Structure 1
Amino acid sequence: MRILLLGMGSRGDVQPLVALGQRLRRMGYAVSLAAPADLGHVVAGSGVDFEPLSFDLEGPLREGLGRDSLRGSARTQVREARLMREVMAGTAEALADDVGRLVESADAVVSGALTFDLVDALLAPAHRGGRPTKPHLYAVFAPVWPSAHGDSVALALRPRATSWVNHAWSSLAGRVALDLFRPAGDLVRERRGLPRQRFRRYTAAAERTPTLLAASPGVVPPAADWPPALRQTGYWVRDDPGSVASLDPELEAFLAAGDPPVFVGFGSMPTPDPAGVTRDVLAVLDGLGVRGVVSEGLAGLTADTTDRVLGIGPAPHDVLFPRCSVVVHHGGAGTTAAAVRAGVPQVVVPHAADQPYWGRRMADLGVAPPPVARKDLTAARLQRALEVALSPGARATAYALGERVRAEDGAGDAARLVDAYLTGTAPGPGRRRPS
């Protein structure tokens, strides 16, 4: 049986699927992973077949609508949402054609947040009320279901309380998400002569689709009001990162030359003033007397190399973070997971979407100070946050949390759940024998 994994999105949306794909291969499945063409290096060497989509990701993010959309997150989320929908609309035809071709040749599909509605349209039965034409599972890396429990839902108005307000607000967020991600699914339904998806049917489809949440229960507490089809695992991490990923020799030499540095990088999040952010970061590191590694990323944080600071390009987080003293990052799900597993304190500077949630969770767990929103980031706020993160208490708490999370086998648990679903042995809701 061939399983198609859909990794539409940034590196953080692709890398966990590589780990799942490896585990499924060991169980005897043929596995292919589709992702933007320029993320093939994330899949390389894993043994999982790579199916490049017919467009790149990082190029559009560095310029044009993608850049403007993500930079908008530092100003207003309304503008961010509007521009992100334009980005999704611009890729809708290519995405629908690529995924349609790949789904046709697969026996089962694992979709993500950006492709769930598209796959639901492609696998929709000819008559209402029928089953999808092929097994379909949903994989997500943040708790996106409506919930009253503020610490268990990515978007909550009362994040540290249990309230109907949280459920209502996160339900509204679901409507916004469908509007953002629906263009490719709408196109497929139009081609097939199907009606446009309504939100009620969208939520019903999501609730009955077997769903895997790839986030440690030690970080995301399970919620009593999650749908029965949801199964939570630990993080999905390759168990062979050291064998396929190594650090650049210059970075390796810098790490060996002194105390563990502070890592600063915002991943795929651009910033309107990279020179100003870099200047503030370097001033704070110098004032605290600590060494630093500054990652360029899409923010363009370019730092001149000195004996105290090293500017770097992409580097494997699973290998680098355990050798750092603190990780300053944007709060993406994948980067947060890597920092948690590394057992080091964090400073979270959220830009958009679910990133404020991860910043709050890190603070609530005692491994980070309260998050500092990108629009509020100043040298003074960064220094105060780093002083907290560098404290002995934060280090001890982060180390203990990392030990607990590393003991989990999230990718293995997820692969066993996928196998149980496909073989008809999964208990409870979501069980289905393939035809």
Structure 2
Amino acid sequence: MRVLFYSMPANAHLYNLIPLAWAFRSAGHDVVFASQPDLVDAIKKTGIPAVSVGKDSETMKFLAETPPEDTVWGSGYRLNEKDPEKLTYDYLTNMFAAYCSPGGFGYYTNDEVLDDLVAFARDWKTDLVVWDALSFSGPIAARAAGAANVRVLQGMDHWVRMRERMLTLAKDVPEAERVDPVADWLGERLARYGAEFAEEVAVGTATIDPLPPGNSYDLDFDYLQMRSLPFNGPTEIPAWVRERPAKPRIALTLGLTTREVHDNGVPAADLIGAIADLEVEVVATLSHEQLSKVMTVPENVRAVEFVPLNALLPSCSAIIHHCGTGTTGCAVINGVPQIVVPGNLWSEDDTGQYIADRGAGLVTSPEELTAEGLRDMVVRILDDSSFQAGADQLQKETLAAPSPADVVIELEKLAADR
């Protein structure tokens, strides 16, 4: 079987897909990974053959430098909105229109990328396209090539949650007044290749959920659960990581996407300063820019640009982080109690609350974060063994979920039935 993976050009989204790509390779399938040129080097370093499509996106530069009001995040509409009073039909249709605009997902789904990706998918006679859930060039290429497509979540499924609600409310709207911005947007791009819109282009022929069990919304939608298998990129494990720490070790990280896009209002200096006087060892994985905002690095803080979390966390007593999908999954799979200061890019607040509700950690919003409050949370995590027990139980449940190799078997059946 020929399996084409596709993602927007961002390392965090690439790494979320790599364990499944290797599971396909290990099962004997032909696998390639396509993206824009600015991700190709990162793809090649994973050992999966790369296919370059379109031009350099400069996506992260665009998001970092463009004022929020000129992007979907400043449009006044939020895909992660949960207030039922706001979720009217007009709000939902306008929200989807904003997300399908050039300042939203439309930025990634341009003609240059689509022309190259569709041409490759057709020429290669692709059987299955596996795509990052924000990267809609993938399902468009699959539809144009007659292949099945599989969506892989990178967070809780706001897209289907909001789409289900919009389609339900549409039943009470006169047919002549109904609109579907998603179908219109995807349909216009499909028409370029002689194909028509189908719902599977918007939500996948199947959807894989790699989040911890229960970290999801109650939706009328089928998911393939898959155990998170942390991949931190090609790297070397430093010798000091393998040494047993003399004091409780605390990891502090703001993740790959936070470095590249927005700081999410989480001040690194405040995080470090809050625990500087505790009898702990802090490993802070912060960029040079983030560290430049820290006036003095305390003696008990080891500041590094990068360290593979999957190697670091087994020696840690806790982790402080922004609740990105990769970081959260890595903490869960290693059974480490978490202190979450959630970002605001996707579903970080709900996932942080899930960790707290499971007794595996504590959560506070960036707006409520204080040095004293964070210090108190670290002390609580270290002194109260119930947090470790909660983390252990969540780890046990996660390890029982199907592995990427198990999921490949299900996807082989899906492609065969196409």
Bin for the TM-score computed over the shorter chain:
0.7 to 0.9
Q: 1:315 to 1:56 in 2, by over 3 A?
A: farther
How much has 1:52 moved relative to structure 2?
4.2
Q: Does structure 2 conserve the Cα–Cα contact (< 8 Å) formed by 1:145 and 1:226?
A: no
SS at match of 1:374: coil
How much has 1:92 moved relative to structure 2?
3.3
Match of 1:293 among 283, 286, 292: 283
Structure 1 residues 44-53 or 342-351, which shifts more? 44-53
Measure, in 1, the Cα distance between the counterparts of 2:70 and 2:367. 12
Measure, in 2, the Cα distance between the counterparts of 1:102 and 1:348. 42
Measure, in 1, the Cα distance between the counterparts of 2:64 and 2:135. 23
Partner of 1:122: 141
Structure 1 residues 379-388 or 42-51, which shifts more? 42-51
Partner of 1:421: 414
How much has 1:399 moved relative to structure 2?
2.8
Match of 2:251 among 254, 263, 283: 263
SS at match of 1:12: helix
Q: 1:38 to 1:373 in 2, by over 3 A?
A: farther
Measure, in 2, the Cα distance between the counterparts of 1:236 and 1:376. 32
Partner of 2:350: 357
Q: Does structure 2 conserve the Cα–Cα contact (< 8 Å) formed by 1:71 and 1:271?
A: no
Measure, in 1, the Cα distance between the counterparts of 2:16 and 2:77. 27
Match of 1:100 among 110, 114, 118: 118
Q: 1:386 to 1:19 in 2, by over 3 A?
A: same
* TM, length-normalised to structure 2: 0.74
Equivalences for residues 276-425 of structure 1 within 5 A:
277-297=267-287, 300-302=290-292, 307-352=299-344, 353-369=346-362, 371-390=363-382, 391-423=384-416
Q: 1:123 to 1:146 in 2, by over 3 A?
A: closer
Q: 1:347 to 1:206 in 2, by over 3 A?
A: same
Partner of 2:192: 191
Count of aligned pairs: 379
Deviations 1:91-111 (A, max 9, x none): 432432443344232332112
Partner of 1:109: 129
Deviations 1:240-289 (A, max 9, x none): x89x543345x538x65632421112112232777xx2331222112333
Unaligned runs of 5+ residues in structure 1 are: 126-131, 148-152, 156-165, 173-177, 424-431
Deviations 1:277-333 (A, max 9, x none): 233122211233322122225972445655411211122221122222211111111
Report % sequence identity: 19
Equivalences for residues 176-255 of structure 1 within 5 A:
185=186, 188-189=189-190, 191-192=192-193, 202=199, 205-206=201-202, 209-217=205-213, 219-220=214-215, 223=218, 225-228=219-222, 230-237=223-230, 245-248=235-238, 252=241
How much has 1:392 moved relative to structure 2?
1.9
Q: 1:367 to 1:208 in 2, by over 3 A?
A: closer
Measure, in 2, the Cα distance between the counterparts of 1:280 and 1:272. 14
- The one-letter code of the counterpart of 1:122 is A
Measure, in 2, the Cα distance between the counterparts of 1:361 and 1:222. 11
- The one-letter code of the counterpart of 1:372 is T
Partner of 2:157: 144
- The one-letter code of the counterpart of 2:388 is R
Q: Does structure 2 conserve the Cα–Cα contact (< 8 Å) formed by 1:362 and 1:368?
A: yes
Partner of 2:65: 64
Q: Does structure 1 conserve the Cα–Cα contact (< 8 Å) formed by 2:69 and 2:75?
A: no
**Alignment partner of 1:22 is 2:14:** no
